[in-house]
Structure 1
Amino acid sequence: MLDLAGGTTVYLACGSTDLRKSYNGLAAIIKLKFHLDPYSRCMFAFCNRRRTSIKILQWDGSGFWILMKRLDRNYFRWPDTPDELKKVTLKEIHWLCDGLSLDPKGAFEEHHPKITI
């Protein structure tokens, strides 16, 4: 089953990727270019050159899942640095998928209040 738990590690392949690639092609990029294990429980996110489509690859123990989102207008605020892999939180990938940047202005910072009894 697809794991969308809060502790899931998410990696962004910064820059652009040819999204005509499917499971094996994206897994090969993860292994050969970024030297990570595509069969880990991590999510790996890729974006096309025009920044209108995102593909997310994740292994669930028995097979790969691909999540894909394509925008009809506008573009994703995807990091530009080519050949870089950036570790982000699940919250940050949600921001990107919602059209925000990785550092949205006005977003609430997560904090844990101290409980006094």
Structure 2
Amino acid sequence: MKGLINPPAIYLYRHFVDFRKSINGLAALVESETTLALDSGALFLFTNKQRDKIKILYWDTTGFALWYKRLEKDKFKWPVRENNQVMTLTQTELDRLLSGFTIIGHKPVEIHDFTIN
């Protein structure tokens, strides 16, 4: 996803969502449970209960786009113990999260056949 867009903000929705929701369902969730502007170009990140999938919703000036990533093994390190319903991430934190690292404590996810020194 890096290099595709330059978002003004990146928001991570901490609670797990039903991944049957697509663009309209996720947009409705943001509208009903936050005060964030959907049409700002910001990225909105969501995960499923198993934490093996991420959906990223954003507005690209012509309409909504939805980016989806599924891990074959392992789980995303999702910050579930934070107090806020929505967290703001930096581009670096998003890159780390999508690369298999936690954004809390900076510990790597266990990845088979790959060692991080």
Same fold (TM over 0.5): yes
The 2-side partners of 1:31 and 1:83 are apart by 16
Q: Please report how far the alpha carbon of residue 85 of structure 1 lies from its aligned counterpart in structure 2 after TM superposition.
A: 0.1
Identical aligned residues as a percent: 35
Residues 8 and 90 in structure 1, CA contact (< 8 A), matched pair in contact too: no
Higher relative contact order (CA 8 A, sep 6+): 1
Q: Please report how far the alpha carbon of residue 91 of structure 1 lies from its aligned counterpart in structure 2 after TM superposition.
A: 1.3
SS at match of 2:38: coil
Which position in structure 2 is the counterpart of 1:100?
101
Q: Return 5+ residue gaps in structure 2 as ranges.
A: 109-117
Residues 11 and 85 in structure 1, CA contact (< 8 A), matched pair in contact too: yes
Per-residue Cα deviation, 1:3-26 (whole angstroms, up to 9, x for no partner): 522x63100001211111111111
Q: Taking structure 2 as the reference length, what is the TM-score of the superposition?
A: 0.80
Q: Taking structure 1 as the reference length, what is the TM-score of the superposition?
A: 0.80
The amino acid of 1:86's aligned partner reads: M
> 5 Å matches for 1:1-117?
4-5=5-6, 8-81=8-81, 84-102=85-103, 103-105=105-107
Aligned pair count reads 104
Per-residue Cα deviation, 1:64-112 (whole angstroms, up to 9, x for no partner): 1111100011000011148710000111111111110114159xxxxxx
Q: CA RMSD in A?
A: 2.1
Residues 8 and 40 in structure 2, CA contact (< 8 A), matched pair in contact too: no
SS at match of 1:78: coil
